[in-house]
Structure formats: structure tokens, C-alpha cells
Amino acid sequence: MSARSELRFPEGFVWGAATAAYQIEGAATEDGRGPSIWDTFSRTPGRVFQGHTGDVACDHYHRYADDVALMADLGLRAYRFSVAWPRIRPDGTGPVNPRGLDFYDRLTDALLQRGIDPIVTLYHWDLPQSLQDTGGWTSRDTAAHLADYAVAVHSRLGDRIRTWTTLNEPWCSAYLGYGNGLHAPGERDPGAAFRAVHHLLLGHGLAARALRAAGAEVVGITLNPADVRPADPHSAADAAAVRLVDGLHNRIFLDPLTGAGYPADVLEHVSRMVEPDFIRDGDEKTIAAPIDLLGVNFYAPTYVAGRAGAAGGSAWPGTEGSVEFLPPVGPLTDMGWMIEPASLTRLLERIATDYPGLPLIITENGAAFPDKAGEEGPDGTGWVADSDRVAYLDGHLRAAHAAIARGVDLRGYLVWSFLDNFEWAEGYRKRFGIVHVDYLTQRRTPKESARWYQEVIARNGL
Ligand code: FCB
């Protein structure tokens, strides 16, 4: 064996996979589930590829037992799933729907019976539609409702689930949901996007505090921090562009979460678009509720240049006229995303340096490729060859290992995703799973990458 294949991860390193409710569950109207902003958005013509919806998705709501058995077969030690708020409180604020909680109760027991550690995300983008009708994340009340909902879920599952994360990627919820409209609810207003950033963070803080008071053992949040790089490392204009994008993408979340409050340069930038009167006294203290774990979702690097008159990026409000986002350089994934594993090492080291003392876990990493289900694999069962995905995962695990070797406190790795699923505005046409899903038959076929990952887990390394 070559030296390349002898990397070992620390003892107790957590190996698993991740999914999210709307992307896999289906059963959109069952057992009292109310509508979410993604039900509304996916039904709005032109928003999602070919009008795909999460109505059926992977039918995981009915197939969860077989899915958990497959996870166990692959040797997963942890499974990150999200709870659908509209199953628990169908109208966002009203009475708790016990049948919604029953599903996650059954799922949790099934996982624990197979020795798989459940990692919960409370909010992975499926806001109850009735809360959107009263302003969604632009409304301060939504933050308090998140905390109430968190407590309702914890009171049923808190005796069995150790790890609780509040939000998944508030950057997407705010900037794609309210800034450029690519995600639900599809609003296009920079001021609304910044309001949403603040209320998401406030909701996180209130929920984190409430979960802690209720006895939750590990409390965290998942971000999608960016490794923002200059086109030319010697250009002052490019360095300024990096600083601006880093502020809007990373520091606007990480600084207040870790007790430093909003960065002054970011607040100044925001004030050019909206009066930040939605930030009230005491909010930054609430947002800084202590956390035990930071989830990092990582896919691709971000390269920028500073140029007068540049188009900017619609997902970073106020970058128009000064920032050029460089087109990705191949090889690319099926999302058109650049593949640069070293970017993950840099990002993890940067977070560990600038925000010390915060244990990290990679809550998502993976790649879409246009897989085809083949005939038969080596063992006579179905087979999907996806060596491109194996190479992506291998490269990023090596990058994660390099960060650990340099002292980063990285506790685990969860591949995105366990199953092919509803990839938001892209519908079902992008496949991220290590398990292939035939959407006509709901047949699951572990891909080559799933078998490869099974061995990685068994060896605790590469
Ligand atoms: C992340 C999302 C996740 C999935 C991946 C590809 O931004 O959290 O649900 O769509 O991207």
C-alpha cells in the first residue's frame, strides 16, 4: 500500500451522512403536516426545475426503517437529519401535532437500535407557510417561534438525542430566500435579507438557550462558511473584495455567534442598504448563547477580484459595482462547482484560528455527478459507478485530515448525502447521494462511493 492510503483519523471520529426533511421525506400532507414555504415555492411556476416538488421525494417517511437498515449496513455511526417544523406545529405557532413528533420518535428509536447516533437539525429551510404569511424571517416574532418549536421537539426526543443543532446554513435562508429569490420564499430585497440574517441569528440564540435550559447535551449550529480567495494575492483591490465578501458571508454570522457582536465594517455596509434598527439592545448577547459545536458545510472555494463596475454577486447584497466573482475553473461537479480540496483545509484552519475553542464537525460535504444506475455490480446486485464522487470525497477527507494534523479540533465528517434527493431549485436532476434512488420505483442502490465509504469507516481512515 502506498503512503497515500494510510491516513488514520482520531479515535472516536464521527462518521456519518446527512439529509434534510423536505429533500427526502415526501408525505407532504400526511399525519397533519402543514404547508411550508418550499411547498408554496415549488408549486410556483418557474421556481424549481420542471416544477419538481417534495410531495413524494424519496418517500423516506414511509421507508425510514429500510433506510436506517441500509445506513447500518454501510456502517454509518451517525446520521444527521432535520425535523420538519410544519409536521410539529403545522401553522408555525399553534398546538403541537403529536403525530408529527411520532415520526421522529420512530426514526430516532430505529437509529439507536442500530447503534447510529442521531444528530438533529431543527431548521433546514422548511418554514411553516403561515409564518411566512406574517413576514417569515423578516419578522422578529419568527425567532421566538423557532425557540418554542425547538422546545417542543426536545421535550419528546431529548431523552434519546444528544446533539441538537438549530439552523442549517442561515446564509442560504437569508440571502437566497430573501435577497436574490433563488430559494423559498423567493423574495428579492437586500434589506429583507439582512433582516432575515438577524432574526435567524436571534432565533438561533433563543433556541440554543432554551435547549440548554431543557437539558440538551450538545448544542450547535451549522453554517456554510466560505473560503474566500483573491484572484491576485498581491492586489489591494482584490484584498478589499475578499474582506467585503468574507464579512457578508462569514463574519456576519461567526462574530456575533462567538460573542464579538456584528463587525463594524459589515454593519456599515449593511447600513447603506437598510437602517439596521431591527438590531435591538441585548440581541447580540442573546445570539452569543454558548455553543458546543459548529457544523461546517463545505463544497467549493470562492474566488473574487475587486473591479470597478463589476457585476457583483446577487447572493452578497451590495457587491454590485465592486466585486467580480470569478467563474469556476474545472474540473467541476454537476452543479458547476469547482473542486479544490485544499480550500477545505484553509477554511477549517481559518475558523480554528479566528474563532478558537469551538469544536468543529463537517456536517455536509459531497458532490453531484450525473450518475447512471448500471446493471450489476461485483456482487451481482445493482451497481452505480461513481469514481468521480469517490475522488471528490477522498480528496476532501485528506484535506480534513490535513487540518486535524495542523491542530484543528475536527470531530467528525458527514457526507452529503445519504440518498439522492430533491436538490432545492434544481429538483431531482442533481444527484448528491452515495445511495442511488430510482424515483419511479423508489429502489435504493448503494453506489460505488457508498461501498468505498463503508471501508473508510471500517478502517477509520484512508
Ligand atoms: C447545502 C444544503 C443541502 C444541500 C447541499 C447540496 O447548501 O444545506 O440541503 O442542498 O447544499
pLDDT single digits (tens) 318-345: 999 999 999 999 999 999 999 999 999 9
Ligand 1, closest atom to CA 424? 10
Instruction: Provide φ and ψ at 423, rounded to 5°.
Output: -90, 60
pLDDT in tens, 79-108: 999 999 999 999 999 899 999 999 999 999
Name all contacts of 401-409 with Cβ < 8 Å and 24+ positions apart.
401/7, 401/9, 401/461, 401/462, 402/345, 403/344, 403/345, 403/348, 403/349, 403/352, 404/9, 404/10, 406/345, 406/349, 407/352, 408/348, 408/349, 408/351, 408/352, 408/360, 409/352, 409/358, 409/359, 409/360
pLDDT higher than 60, residue 381: yes
* Residue in 38, 169, 419 to alter for ligand 1 test, most ligand atoms within 8 A of Cβ: 169
pLDDT higher than 70, residue 422: yes
Range 276-288 average pLDDT: 98
Pocket of ligand 1 (CB under 6 A): 20, 23, 168-169, 172, 224, 297, 364, 416, 423-424, 432
Q: What is the reported pLDDT for 378?
A: 60
pLDDT higher than 80, residue 377: no
CA of 379 to the centre of ligand 1 (A): 32
* Residue in 48, 364, 428 to alter for ligand 1 test, most ligand atoms within 8 A of Cβ: 364
User: How does DSSP classify residue 165?
Assistant: E
CA of 282 to the centre of ligand 1 (A): 32
Active site (annotated) includes residue 364 = yes
Q: How many CA atoms lie within 13 A of 87 on its CB side?
A: 24
Range 171-189 average pLDDT: 98
pLDDT band at 383 (very low <50, low <70, confident <90, very high): confident
The residue whose CA is least distant from atom 10 of ligand 1 is: 423
Ligand 1, closest atom to CA 224? 7
Separation CA 83–CA 85 (nearest Å)? 6
Ligand 1, closest atom to CA 20? 9
pTM recorded for the entire structure: 0.97
Contact 56, 151 (CB under 8 A): no
pLDDT in tens, 100-112: 999 999 999 999 9
Contact 164, 219 (CB under 8 A): yes
Q: What is the reported pLDDT for 373?
A: 76
pLDDT higher than 70, residue 58: yes
Please tell me which residue in 187, 284, 324, 364 is annotated as part of the active site: 364
Please tell me which residue in 169, 187, 340, 423 is annotated as part of the active site: 169
Contact 362, 296 (CB under 8 A): yes
The residue whose CA is least distant from atom 4 of ligand 1 is: 423
**Residue 438 identity (one-letter amino acid):** D
pLDDT higher than 50, residue 305: yes
CA of 225 to the centre of ligand 1 (A): 13
CA of 260 to the centre of ligand 1 (A): 28
Q: With pLDDT > 70 as the criterion, what percentage of the chain qualifies?
A: 97
pLDDT in tens, 32-48: 999 999 999 999 999 99
Ligand 1, closest atom to CA 368? 6
Q: With pLDDT > 90 as the criterion, what percentage of the chain qualifies?
A: 96
pLDDT in tens, 119-137: 999 999 999 999 999 999 9
* Residue in 122, 415, 424 to alter for ligand 1 test, most ligand atoms within 8 A of Cβ: 424
CA of 304 to the centre of ligand 1 (A): 22
pLDDT band at 1 (very low <50, low <70, confident <90, very high): very low
pLDDT higher than 70, residue 153: yes
What mean pLDDT, rounded, does the chain reach? 97
